[in-house]
Amino acid sequence: LAKTTQPISMDSYEGQEVNITCSHNNIATNDYITWYQQFPSQGPRFIIQGYKTKVTNEVASLFIPADRKSSTLSLPRVSLSDTAVYYCLVGDPKAAGNKLTFGGGTRVLVKP
């Protein structure tokens, strides 16, 4: 299972763009990159998933360079409610079992 490395924490202000970079040097050919958001006392919530280049949905964008050894989650114009822990995970979603190994995550604090 590919290991991921993320910053422990990041501070931001309302209305700013937050970019969280995740390193996954040992990513395998069939691995996808998935980001989750977790609020206290809740289960992780799926944000976005991608394989290469750029993926965008209604809440975030995911940038993946050609070598796929890292990825950046971009949260546009954050609000106070975006304060949470963000996890980057790497794995083959089609593989039997498809275990996800959670790293430490990035604790994002959005200030007013």
* Contacts (CB under 8 A) with another protein, residues 53-112: 87, 93-94, 96-105
* Angstrom distance (rounded) from CA 78 to CA 17: 6
CB of 65 to another protein, least distance (A): 20
- 56, containing H or E segment: strand 53-56
- Regarding 7 and contact with another protein (CB under 8 A), the answer is no
For residues 21 to 60, the per-residue mask of contacts with another protein, x marking binding by CB under 8 A and - elsewhere, is -----------x-x-x----xxxxxx--x-----------
Cβ-based nearer residue to another protein, 13 or 109 = 109
Q: What are the backbone dihedrals phi and psi of residue 83, each rounded to the nearest 5 degrees, phi first?
A: -65, 120
CA 32 distance to own-chain centroid: 11
Cβ-based nearer residue to another protein, 15 or 45 = 45
**Beta sheet of 53-56, edge-to-edge order:** 18-23, 70-75, 61-64, 53-56
CB of 103 to another protein, least distance (A): 6
* Angstrom distance (rounded) from CA 52 to CA 100: 19
Number of residues that bind another protein (CB under 8 A): 23
